Amino acid sequence: MLDKVEELLQNVDTFTASTKEEVESFRIEYLGSKGILKSLFSEFKNVDPSQRKEFGQALNQLKKNAEEKVKSLQSNLEDQSLSEQKYGDLTRPGEPIALGARHPISIVKNKIIDVFNRIGFTISEGPEIEDDWHNFTALNLPEYHPARDMQDTFFIEKSDEAKDNVLLRTHTSSVQVRYMENNEPPIRTISPGRVFRNEDISARSHCIFHQIEGLYVDTDVSFADLKQTLLFFTKEMFGKSKIRLRPSYFPFTEPSAEVDIYWGLETETDYRITKGTGWLEIMGCGMVDPNVLKNCNIDPTKYSGYAFGMGIERIAMLLYQIPDIRKFYENDVRFLEQFKSAL
């Protein structure tokens, strides 16, 4: 008899259930009015009096364990169904996580970097807060030079003497000055970065934008080298192979030129963005002025160089036919989601 109760105790211990029905039939089997315990208690009178105490204790234990088992299984199942109501089926596959997209300015910047990397240009970066020397003076723009007004400047500290001014860089040419000060030719570098100009915000211009400027300094660098590099760039970047160089002026290059690419006149948009000419201006360039080389401790009798600079927003607007520069800074996901790139 006792052995049987021992065995039942073990069965109760190991019993588990995954549905309410299973718990209920367990309850009926052990604790029901015709259940195992009922019938065991009715055997009580047949047990040898010397064993009754032990048998009684074992039965009570069995009853208690069975009751506790039912209670704990019921509450477990209850918790489970509550969490299912709250979270649904916890075993279902997860929702796909939306993938972010790179900002169009980053995509275009990376594309431009990729083109120049392929012909040996390294990347250089510098501070956005600059001193007067690196943004102006070293670039052949001494104090009172009228060309300082070509780029309206945000000053952080304006002193009586221009050389003490602290400002937000107006172009990344400042990075090239730093690079030349710290490296010996041959130099082949491009400087991407954010620049600042105190200009009214409109569809075509913004007070914060991005530039990539390039610099090549070595022995015997000629204007022909510059033109070939630019031709390679426009072919790779736009798939267009006709460019023209229009004479222009920058204080830090001599001679200087504006680069136009022949965009074509196939669609109505082509007419609009090229103002009916088929030509589009994409950047400024020129041969580094010997004064700039001298300011950066490079001997202009030994070395020559070329430089160019372009606005990344402008290139992105052309590539993606974006009519308004302000779109880049509004962080509107409907706009940003449209750009996907491996770069």
Q: Does 253 bind ligand PHE (CB under 6 A)?
A: yes
Of 26, 250, 263, 279, the residue at the interface with ligand PHE (CB under 6 A) is 250
The answer to whether residue 30 forms part of the interface with ligand PHE (CB under 6 A) is no
State which of positions 260-289 bind ligand PHE (CB under 6 A).
284-286
Residue 173 binds to ligand PHE (criterion: CB under 6 A): yes
Cα 147 to Cα 141: distance, rounded to the nearest angstrom: 7
Does residue 135 bind ligand PHE (CB under 6 A)? no
Q: How many residues bind ligand PHE (CB under 6 A)?
A: 11
Site string for ligand PHE, 81-120 (x = CB under 6 A): ----------------------------------------
What are residue 227's phi and psi, to 5 degrees? -65, -40
For residue 167, give the nearest of 200, 195, 140, 139 by alpha carbon. Answer: 195
Residue 333 Cβ, how far from ligand PHE at the closest point, in Å? 31
The residue (of 23 and 257) whose beta carbon lies closer to ligand PHE is: 257
Is residue 307 within the footprint of ligand PHE (CB under 6 A)?
yes
Q: How far is the CB of 171 from ligand PHE (least distance, A)?
A: 3
The DSSP code for 164 is G
When asked if residue 209 is in the footprint of ligand PHE (CB under 6 A), the reply is no
State the nearest-atom distance from the C-beta of 248 to ligand PHE, in Å.
Answer: 8
Is residue 12 within 8 A of residue 69, CB to CB? The reply is yes
| Residue 190 bridge partners (DSSP) | 123, 214
Q: What is the CA radius of gyration of the chain?
A: 40
Sheet order of strands, 155-157 included:
129-131, 166-168, 155-157
Residue 131 vs 213, nearer CB to ligand PHE = 213
User: Could you tell me how far CA 240 lies from the centroid of its own chain?
Assistant: 30
Least CB distance to ligand PHE at residue 168 (A):
13
Instruction: Give how far Cα 267 sits from Cα of 179, 273, 318, 321, Å.
Output: 43, 10, 14, 12
Strand order of the β-sheet with 187-196 is 122-123, 187-196, 208-218, 304-311, 279-288, 253-262, 243-250
Contact range with ligand PHE by CB under 6 A, out of 8-16, 262-270, 304-312, 318-326? 304-312
Which C-beta is closer to ligand PHE: that of 136 or that of 279?
Answer: 136
